[in-house]
């Protein structure tokens, strides 16, 4: 009976609401439809922009390493072009350019422009062979191409080299010493496949001897020299300790020099053996060029590759990109030092900013009494979040590098002066600079997480006889930990993408020597480093070969996004586990 009365009352109220007099358009505003559509539309636009940007980076980043076919184009003026088509576009030829053409060429352009309302199609060809042509790319307009001038030759080779970029040509001979042992393309290719792996193996052995073995010898010699210099500064050259150490240093220097000469002899022997093998190529314009097999990273007949071979070549290029060092002004090769530097910097920054930020937030929320000082500190923290990042870079350079680092050099590394050790940019100072930059994010997020813990839990802990610190440690902090990790995630995402302050405090264009190696103390926080953000900036704005660097920009950007996502995902998984543990404990 009561339920039927309630239902009839609801129907009466609804009828009165539906039959009430109202003005035109009042219904939408009363229910808030305009605001709903506005906010929903803004959300859709934001999501579309984000997904569009990610899709653009994903497509361009993944197709960077796909091997394209090589086209041979004959031009109307008798010249020929050999290379990879990188992109195609339509443009309007400049009248001044048309005036410089011959009558036949002008007629050809006029015919093409008439067919497409004044537009002409052109293709950007990556021609390589920079030491011969002084250009990496060349625009070729369709009116310049002779009839039937575009073909895909079977034996057009793509040569990826250690220096000078790519080379495109036809094989005309395989050279051993000063003798040409093969002249047919198939035989040349078989000889190349036979000898190139062994040549590259010797090349890698040379690199290991130069970077590791000789590096260890130089490191040991420098370490002994610094010990001698330290005794000299402390006791003088006339002291017995200095004289004894000088004799030991002379003996050790002689032994290391003998070992150094032995390694150099082995290196020269390997180089002489590698220099015997070469590949002779003919370019599209008829020039011949000998390329040593030791200078060839990989070579392939682009127009003969099957789908499986293209996939294998794609995987090889991706692995090189992830595991190797850069070459050709960072426009080719890999970016492993930048990957390592970015991840290591972000972890160091997190280890510095999270404990300090949490402790500061704990004091402000749990211990400090409300007043002018606390309010001023909170305002300062909030304002600090709006300071431009380059200002933090200037502060890090002046305070960490020059003041703190210079003092450390004076006290602990005086033997190395005037060459600075910590008194210049390094990964330690860069991580501390980014820690200051992201400190407000951690403090604000931690304060909000602490404030969200119910007061009843604190009072219950106090009622059981716990002290304030015991309550904070056992009750408040565990329940605030998901919020603390949220602040850490935001700080990691902000710090990993910063570039401006790093340019002043340690990030460099090329630093193949990692901050972590096999030499004691193994972790070298004073070294400069590479960073993915700075690497992207260098590729986009500082590269001498901008067209070749453009695809690498998308690949490096995609990798930076994936790296930040991986770091954040790890923190999110940890936060989710903590929440589940707290829910289980609460139940």
Q: What is the pLDDT of residue 374?
A: 85
Rounded CA Rg of the chain: 34
Mean pLDDT along residues 578-584: 71
Examine residue 418 and say whether the peptide bond preceding it is cis (omega within 30 degrees of 0).
yes
Give 431-459 pLDDT, tens digit per residue. 999 999 999 999 999 999 998 888 888 88
Q: How many other CB atoms are found less than 10 A from the CB of residue 471? A: 20
Q: With cut-offs at 50, 70 and 90, classify the pLDDT of residue 25.
A: very low
Mean pLDDT along residues 482-487: 86
Give 363-391 pLDDT, tens digit per residue. 988 888 888 888 888 888 888 888 899 99
Mean pLDDT of the chain: 88
Q: What are phi and psi of 3, to 5 degrees?
A: -65, -40
Average the pLDDT over each of 43-47, 79-83, 237-241, 582-586 and give the range with the smallest value.
Answer: 582-586
Give the contacts of 60 (CB within 8 A, at least 6 positions apart): 551, 554
CATH number among 3.40.720, 2.10.260, 2.30.30, 2.40.360, domain 70-147: 2.30.30
Task: Please work out, in degrees rounded to the nearest 5, the angle formed at the alpha carbon of residue 369 by the alpha carbons of 364 and 372.
Answer: 90
Q: What is the pLDDT of residue 405?
A: 94
Q: Give CA–CA dist 166/3, Å, rounded.
A: 84
Residue extents of the structural domains in the chain? 70-147, 170-304, 336-586
Give 408-438 pLDDT, tens digit per residue. 999 999 999 889 999 999 999 999 999 999 9
DSSP assignment of 199-268 equals: HHHHHHHHHHIIIIIHHHHHHHHHHHHHHHHHHHHHH-TTSHHHHHHHHHHHHHHHHHHHHHHHHHHHHH
Q: How many other CB atoms are found less than 10 A from the CB of residue 428? A: 24
Q: What is the pLDDT of residue 513?
A: 84
Q: Give CA–CA dist 62/230, Å, rounded.
A: 53
Q: How many other CB atoms are found less than 10 A from the CB of residue 193? A: 10
Q: What is the pLDDT of residue 222?
A: 92
On the question of pLDDT at 18 being above 90, the answer is no
Q: Does domain 336-586 have CATH number 1.10.3720.10?
A: yes
On the question of pLDDT at 494 being above 90, the answer is no
On the question of pLDDT at 327 being above 80, the answer is yes
pLDDT, greater one: 581 or 227: 227
On the question of pLDDT at 552 being above 80, the answer is yes
Mean pLDDT along residues 484-500: 87
Q: What is the pLDDT of residue 12?
A: 57
Give 133-182 pLDDT, tens digit per residue. 898 999 999 999 988 778 999 999 999 999 888 999 999 999 998 899 88
Whole-model pTM: value is 0.87
Q: Give the residue among 434, 400, 385 at the shortest CA–CA distance from 534.
A: 434
Q: Give the residue among 496, 531, 495, 509 at the shortest CA–CA distance from 338.
A: 531
Q: What is the pLDDT of residue 20?
A: 52
Examine residue 131 and say whether the peptide bond preceding it is cis (omega within 30 degrees of 0).
no
Q: What is the pLDDT of residue 17?
A: 47
Average the pLDDT over each of 16-20, 81-85, 418-422, 552-556 and give the range with the smallest value.
Answer: 16-20
Q: What is the pLDDT of residue 342?
A: 92
Q: Are 513 and 519 in contact (CB under 8 A)?
A: no
Give 63-116 pLDDT, tens digit per residue. 899 999 999 999 988 899 999 999 999 999 988 888 888 888 888 999 989 888
On the question of pLDDT at 24 being above 60, the answer is no
Q: What is the pLDDT of residue 174?
A: 96
């Amino acid at each position: 009976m009561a339920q039927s009365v309630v239902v009839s009352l609801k129907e009466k109220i609804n009828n009165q609401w539906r039959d009430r007099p109202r003005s035109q358009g009042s219904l939408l505003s009363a229910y808030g439809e305009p605001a709903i559509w506005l906010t929903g539309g803004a959300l859709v636009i934001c999501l579309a922009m984000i997904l569009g940007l990610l899709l653009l980076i994903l497509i361009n980043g993944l197709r960077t390493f796909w091997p394209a076919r090589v086209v041979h184009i004959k031009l109307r003026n008798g010249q020929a072009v050999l290379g990879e088509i990188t992109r195609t576009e339509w443009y309007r030829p400049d009248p001044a350019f048309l005036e410089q053409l011959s009558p036949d060429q002008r007629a050809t352009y006029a015919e093409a422009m008439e067919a497409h309302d004044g537009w002409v199609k052109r293709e950007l060809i990556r021609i390589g062979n920079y030491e011969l042509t002084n250009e990496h790319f060349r625009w070729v307009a369709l009116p310049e191409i002779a009839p039937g001038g575009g073909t895909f030759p079977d034996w057009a080779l793509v040569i990826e080299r250690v220096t000078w970029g790519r080379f495109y040509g036809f094989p005309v001979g395989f050279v051993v010493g000063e003798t040409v042992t093969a002249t047919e393309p198939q035989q040349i290719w078989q000889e190349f496949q036979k000898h190139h792996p062994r040549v590259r193996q010797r090349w890698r052995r040379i690199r290991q001897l130069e970077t590791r073995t000789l590096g260890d010898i130089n490191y040991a010699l420098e370490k002994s020299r610094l010990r001698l210099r330290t005794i000299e500064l402390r006791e003088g050259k006339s002291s017995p300790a200095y004289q004894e150490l000088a004799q030991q240093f002379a003996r050790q220097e002689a032994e290391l020099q003998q070992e150094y000469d032995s390694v150099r002899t082995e290196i020269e022997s390997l180089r002489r053996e590698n220099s015997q093998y070469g590949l002779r190529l003919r370019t599209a314009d008829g020039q011949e060029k000998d390329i040593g097999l030791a200078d060839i990273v990989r070579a392939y007949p682009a127009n003969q590759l099957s789908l499986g071979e293209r996939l294998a070549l794609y995987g090889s290029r991706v692995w090189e990109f992830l595991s190797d060092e850069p070459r050709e002004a960072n426009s080719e090769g890999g970016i492993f030092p930048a990957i390592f530097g970015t991840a290591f910097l972000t972890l160091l920054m997190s280890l510095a900013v999270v404990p300090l930020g949490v402790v500061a937030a704990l004091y402000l929320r749990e211990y400090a009494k409300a007043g002018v000082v606390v309010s001023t500190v909170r305002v300062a923290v909030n304002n600090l979040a709006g300071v431009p990042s380059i200002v933090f870079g200037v502060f890090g350079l002046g305070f960490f590098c020059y003041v703190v680092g210079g003092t450390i050099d004076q006290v602990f590394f005086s033997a190395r002066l005037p060459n600075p050790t910590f008194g210049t940019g390094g990964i330690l100072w860069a991580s501390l600079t980014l820690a200051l930059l992201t400190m407000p994010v951690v403090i604000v997020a931690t304060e909000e997480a602490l404030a969200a813990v119910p007061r009843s839990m604190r009072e219950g802990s106090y009622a059981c006889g716990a002290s304030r610190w015991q309550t904070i440690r056992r009750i408040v902090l565990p329940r605030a930990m998901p919020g603390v990790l949220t602040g850490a995630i935001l700080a990691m995402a902000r710090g990993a993408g910063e570039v401006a302050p790093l340019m002043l405090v340690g990030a460099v264009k090329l630093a193949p020597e990692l901050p972590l190696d096999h030499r004691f103390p193994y972790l070298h926080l004073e070294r400069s480093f590479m960073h993915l953000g700075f690497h992207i900036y260098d590729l986009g704005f500082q590269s001498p070969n901008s067209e070749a660097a453009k695809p690498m920009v998308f690949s490096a950007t995609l990798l930076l996004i994936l790296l930040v996502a991986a770091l954040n995902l790890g923190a999110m998984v940890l936060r989710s586990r903590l929440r589940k543990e707290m829910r289980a404990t609460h139940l």
